[in-house]
Structure formats: structure tokens, C-alpha cells
Amino acid sequence: MENNEYFLEPNLRECTDLLVNSTFRVWRSNFSEIQNFDIIDGDIVDDYEPITRKENGRFKRNVADLKIETLFIIDYSIYSYWYHKVIVKKESERPRTTRSVIRQYYAFVINGIDVRFKNINPKSSGFTISVVFSGIFIADSEAKSPFTEDHKVTSVIPNQVDSSAVLNHTKEWLQQQTGLPGFDHAMMFSRYCVT
């Protein structure tokens, strides 16, 4: 399992029957074959035709595929956790291996989120939603994670952060950053207890 990556997806991705679409399959891929999977290009909304009337007088609805490009922000508490968990042959490999394990784990997370959104019935909603990676920012030092580290309360165990302060700081941090990939939605992850 060391070099394998697992993904979760509906058995029939294009199926509109909720009973069929609620079953999932897990498929395996060799981890060494996947590179730079954290950046995926895609349109926000595919072109679609308007609703048209069929011969019998009923309306036919074309389904729009909405793509939500999602940026994952991984704070230092998560990096530190995985840094101490990974097993490496050479200590010099630890940072690279840590980042690879985090990318692999959050690829599985976003795949699971995408699967849940695939359960929205396109017959009743008129659209499908695909959640894709825009990118992943991994704070590999406390200095790169000011949105949580500046608000960390260490007098309690486990350490905690104030949700409002972290949300506002993350929003400000995102506005100040250059070089991040474009995204529709950003999600910040932390191991700290968010209060």
C-alpha cells in the first residue's frame, strides 16, 4: 500500500438515478505514477443550451456542469503532524515525503467531496457540480501559517484557535498572496481545536 493511492467515486458518474448513484467504488492507482495532480485546469461553467420544448409539449432541460475550483490551505499544525508521522529511509527525504503524503490525503478528501456533490439529482436541479483541485498550499513552517499560528492558544490542550479570528486572518492572507492558482472556493484545514 506504500506506493498506492486510493480514490472514491460513484459507480456510475453520469447516472441520474439516486439509488444507483449512491453506491461508490474505491479504485487504486500507483502513487509513483501521479505527479502534480494538485493543479487541474478547467472551465467554471460549460456552455449549455437553454430549456427547449419537446414534441409532446414537455420541456427538455440540458444539464449544466458547474466546476468549483477549490484551493486547499493546509496550516502548519497539519504539516507538523504528518512530518512526525511519516517513515523515511533518509532524514533528508522527510520534508518531501511529508508534502507528498499531505497531497495524497487531501486528494482523497477532495475526491470524497466531489462524490457527495455528484449525488445532487441533475433532473431536479438542472445542473451537476464537480469539485476539482485548483491547488494546495502547504504551510511547512509556522511563519507560513500566520492565519492560525498568530491566534493559537497554547494554555489549553489540545491547542485551540478562535474561529472568527482565523477566518478573518485567512481571508486577509488570501488577498495578500501572489502566485496562488485561481480558485472559486478556498478551504483552510487545521489540527487545532477551532472554537
Please provide the DSSP assignment of 140-187 as one string: -SGGG-HHHHTT-B-SSSS-EE-HHHHHHHHHHHHHH--SPPP-SEEE
The CA angle 20-25-126, to the nearest 5 degrees, is 45
Q: What is the pLDDT of residues 3-47, one digit of tens each?
A: 555 555 555 444 334 443 445 556 555 544 333 333 334 433 333
Please choose, from the candidates 107, 94, 168, the residue with its C-alpha nearest in 3D space to the C-alpha of residue 136: 107
Look at 150 and 25; give whichever has higher pLDDT: 150
What is the 8-class DSSP label of residue 103?
H
How far from chain centre, in Å, is Cα 58?
Answer: 38
pLDDT tops 50 at residue 151: yes
Tell me what pLDDT residue 36 has: 37
pLDDT tops 80 at residue 100: yes
Q: What is the pLDDT of residues 37-96, one digit of tens each?
A: 333 344 333 333 444 445 555 545 567 889 999 999 999 999 999 999 999 999 999 999
b (16+ CB within 10 A) / e for 166-188 = beebbeebbeeeeeeeebeebeb
CA distances from 150 to 142, 143, 160, 180 (A): 9, 9, 11, 21
What band does 179 get if pLDDT is binned at 50, 70 and 90? confident
Task: Kindly compute the dihedral angle of the four CA atoms of residues 18, 20, 22, 26, in this order, to the nearest 10 degrees.
Answer: -150
